[in-house]
Amino acid sequence: MLEQFFDILNKDVLFDLSKTRTPDSSKLIIHEDGELSEIKELEIKEIPDDSIAFTLDFSSKRNVKKNGVLFSQLSPYFDKGNGDGVNKSCDLVLISRNGDKFTILIFDQKSKKPDIDSSFIQLENSRLFISYMVDIISLFYDVNVNKDDITFKRVIGTTRVVKTGVNAATSQQEILRRKKLRELGMKEVSIKRTASPEKGWLDYRGIVL
């Protein structure tokens, strides 16, 4: 199925996966040029080598390659002014293959304390779009895709400190926030800062596990 994603995707939306000498330690860099973005450059490390990564939010001039274009919304067939979520998309889709199993990470970078409901709509709309692509691959490329072999991971990366552990959440507000994330099948991870305040990094395994 990974090979067919390469076949159907516009090459401008693909991320370059840089492989290292260590197996399953590929990495990629997400650039954010929005004025409100605290992290301008986010590196994701330790990615399985048998993966493909692309964005559904190809609206930044920084991302445009030669002969590229800007995509102002997820689908031009939808009303651009619709505010109900049909145009919402995510920064990163990372599909990794392990034998017959696929893990599809749907990730968006946020700042500080993002609204959970709004983030869920964004990630879920992206999941629906990816599921549509999977159906296209199954139909047009005669690929037997078992949906039970696909695991979706909805994750938001934030600049706030997200404590881990059973007793990490002490305030009632934080307890309710975690409960809501679990109910929606989401995860929130804290982006680690580098020496440069505008750069950060995350470990793939820490995101999906």
Q: The pTM is what?
A: 0.91
**pLDDT band with cut points at 50, 70 and 90 for residue 173:** confident
Whether residue 26 contacts residue 18, with contact meaning beta carbons closer than 8 Å, is answered with yes
Per-residue pLDDT reduced to its tens digit, 12-68: 899 999 988 899 999 999 998 777 788 999 999 999 999 999 999 876 555 455 445
In this prediction, residues 196-205 reach a mean pLDDT of 94
Residues 111, 9: Cα–Cα separation, whole Å: 29
Q: What is the pLDDT at residue 47? A: 98
Task: Give CA–CA dist 105/45, Å, rounded.
Answer: 14
The answer to whether residue 206 scores a pLDDT higher than 50 is yes
Number of domains in the chain: 1
Question: Cβ neighbours of residue 57 under 8 Å, at least 6 residues apart?
Answer: 89, 90, 91, 108
| pLDDT bracket for residue 117 (50, 70, 90) | very high
Position 67 scores a pLDDT of: 46
In angstroms, the Cα distances linking 166 to 140, 169, 189, 190 are 46, 7, 15, 17
H helix intervals, 32-171: 116-140
* Whole-number percent of the chain with pLDDT over 70: 90
Domain holding 174, by residue range, is 2-208
Output the six-digit token pair for 177: 């926030």
